[in-house]
Amino acid sequence: MTTPFPHSYLPHTEAQRREMMAAIGVSSADELFADIPDAFRNPDIALPPALTELELLLEIGGLAKRNAVPGEVPCFVGGGVYRHFIPSVVGAMISRGEFLTSYTPYQPEVSQGTLQATYEYQSMICEITGMEAANAGMYDGASSLAEAALMACRVTGRHSVVVHDTVNPRYRAVVDTYLLPQGVEVTTVAPGSESISDTTACVLAQYPDYFGAVYDLGPLADAAHEAGALFVVSADPVALGMFRAPGEFGADIVTGETQPIGVNMSFGGPFVGYFACRMSHIRQMPGRIAGRTVDHEGRVGYALTLQTREQHIRRERATSNICTSEALIATGTAVCLAALGPGGLRRMAELSYQKAHHAAAGIAALEGYEVVDYGPWFNEFVVKCPLSGRETNTALWRHGIIGGLDVSDVVKNGLLLSVTEMNTRHEIDALVSALGAIAGEDAR
């Protein structure tokens, strides 16, 4: 069968191509790309011969087996992505056809299940953060924090932001990427050395911070409010199972990454960021909100009730260009939170706390190692090692263990280790034993 389209995936006919080229004054595609040297226009690509489906599955499976997968081997890496327990019901629910989309449902008449799941997600995020309103989700925890800073600038009419240097460095990089091109001044300071003035839109802090420390942020919230600024907290949702909710100590906006609740590590994504704030600021919140109502017959129904992104309203009035709510992943988080319940989330947090402190005690007893004292902490801690963090990780892998994150740029020979409820006593003992052996090898 002949077709007017020259390519299966390009919708333009040859006549349309000629019309477009005539409009811009070129006679052929080659003339259009004349400025690109011939050597780079259609380079030879050294690809292997085509494979059958069976051969391809075997090839991809072999490549996948080369990855070190947490759970198959002991893993103590964290720094923003964690391995926590995921109830089986999560996968069963989000695999249902009704939920198999990562996009926001726009037609409520055919999307009641997804909209209800989103509404429940928002409600539970409000409950664990102590806030009054939450949106339907953001791309991830980093962009969620950056959007919070921009929101604070809109609310206050100010254009400078103070951020703690104990906030995840990857989050801080995203904050810079979002704010600096818009003329917002970003000042990075150590906790306790904040200079908050009448030009400060907000102060950004992490809870627990990047190094695992947990400290009272109430006085900082008070100082921010006294200067007319907002206080923004990026919080680990698992830690909120046992620590005070940020809303209780004065946070105006709370953001974070929900990956620890119901989402696999997945080699770094995709995830979903949460975003919650006080009701007084809701119209400056980015993204959209699913709401609950009743129809004219009195039946409960769900619909998108607030949509402040530029795709839905006039661009000059939009608060964000966030375009996807990651609805499927947020649904997974909602199912996980519902399955765990308040008691289950607290137990997850307590086990992570207890096992992490057990591991730290074992490592602190080793010659050549020191657990850095940042005060009270949750489930992550920094260890000063005899070797650099990178060298220690390489040595740990020889023992079949995925180590932590190299933070030698902040702490000499520093290694950031994370322990969750998924790490068994055997794995923790193996980590301590391996570190001891590594120190002995280094001494020799």
Q: Residue 315 has what DSSP assignment? A: G
Q: Is the pLDDT of residue 309 over 80?
A: no
Distance between alpha carbon 111 and the CA centroid of its chain, in Å?
Answer: 26
User: What gap in Å lies between CA 21 and CA 101, rounded to an integer?
Assistant: 38
- pLDDT tens figures, 367-411: 999 999 999 999 999 999 999 999 999 999 999 999 999 999 999
Work out the average pLDDT over 258-280.
93
Model confidence band, residue 412 (pLDDT cutoffs 50, 70, 90)? very high
Radius of gyration for the alpha carbons in the chain, expressed in angstroms and rounded: 25
Domains within the chain, CATH numbers bracketed: 88-337 (3.40.640.10), 341-443 (3.90.1150.10)
Is residue 316 pLDDT above 90, yes or no? no
Q: Which amino acid is at 329?
A: I
Residue 410 and residue 413: Cα distance in Å, rounded?
A: 9
Cα–Cα–Cα angle for 226, 213, 144, rounded to 5 degrees: 65
Cis peptide, bond prior to residue 260, ω within 30 of zero: no
Calculate what percentage of the chain has a pLDDT beyond 70.
Answer: 91
The Cα 186–Cα 198 span in angstroms is: 15
Q: Which residue has the tokens 């020799």?
A: 444
DSSP-derived 3-state class of residue 385: coil
The pLDDT score that the predictor gives to residue 7 is 65
pLDDT, mean of residues 78-94:
95
* Tens digit of each residue's pLDDT (9 = 90 or more) over 97-151: 877 766 666 666 667 888 889 999 999 999 999 999 999 889 999 999 999 999 9
Written as six digits, the tokens of 139 are 């791309």
Going from the C-alpha of 215 to that of each of 244, 310, 356, 415, 434, the distances in angstroms are 11, 38, 18, 21, 31
Instruction: Verify cis geometry, omega within 30 degrees of 0, for the bond prior to 169.
Output: no
Question: Of 370, 371, 369, 375, which is closest to residue 437 (Cα–Cα)?
Answer: 369
pLDDT tens string 176-220: 999 999 999 999 999 988 899 999 999 999 999 999 999 999 999
Q: Would you say residue 2 has pLDDT above 60?
A: no
